[in-house]
Amino acid sequence: MVGEDQVYHIILLRHGESVGNAEGRHQGQSDFPLTDTGRAQAHALARRWQSEGVGFDQVIASPLLRAYQTAEIIANTLHLSLEVGEVWMERDNGYYAGLTPEEANRLYPRPAFMSPYRFVGETGESQWELYLRAGRAIQDLLDRPAGRYLVVSHGGLLNMVLYAILGIAPQANFQGPRFRFNNTAFATLTYYPDRHIWALSGINDRLHWPQPSPAL
């Protein structure tokens, strides 16, 4: 039987609601802070985990404000150290960054066919590049000692992290499964390195902040 000191317990958390979310913008790596609702979501999750006795050996956050502020609220409440990891940033979406969908469609219309190697927003990361970066993010996490890790990141990257873990290749025209991450919703994973087994035991957990799921 594998001891707990040899097992990785990982929670992948999407940030709270940001100003960009509230305004319906393509955020990418543009740096929107949390809204009051986003801060309330982070506090609600922190209180939930505090009441459940949940703890982590390390909190790792994307440096973008919406993720870092979410992580900071949780780390302060649970008295945990907080580390910034640039590999966990959201996709670089090129010229789309900060635009509304209407503005993006008017200024930089998407071609009828998008291979997974084509840059998003003309100058941003392709789906394949994001997938490869997700792989590096996983590698960075598993280069650390086994333990309990909270990663606070973004929906686009976290989808590609799950693609990489589950062995799903990026597809043309952004087809393929989509893993829902509402604001401050999280996925729970366990990794057994001696057998290379991943167990996904929860997805889009948001019991601390019930809300309707938006259409994909």
Question: Which residues on neighbouring strands pair with residue 9, listed in sequence order?
Answer: 148, 190
> Is the distance from CB of 45 to CB of 184 less than 8 angstroms?
yes
Q: Which two tokens stand for residue 153?
A: 């990141």
DSSP 147-195: SEEEEEE-HHHHHHHHHHHHTPPP-GGG-S------TT-EEEEEEETTT
Q: Which of 26, 43, 90, 154 is catalytic?
A: 90
Where are any strands of DSSP class E within the chain?
A: 8-14, 58-61, 82-84, 148-153, 186-192, 197-205
- Whether 15 is a known active-site residue: answer yes
- Whether 90 is a known active-site residue: answer yes
Residues 6+ apart with CB under 8 A from 153: 12, 13, 14, 15, 61, 62, 67, 88, 89, 90, 161
Q: Which of 15, 26, 43, 208 is catalytic?
A: 15
Give the SS3 label for residue 136.
helix
- CA-CA distances (angstroms) from residue 205 to 34, 120, 142, 181, 198? 20, 29, 23, 8, 18
- Catalytic annotation, residues: 15, 90
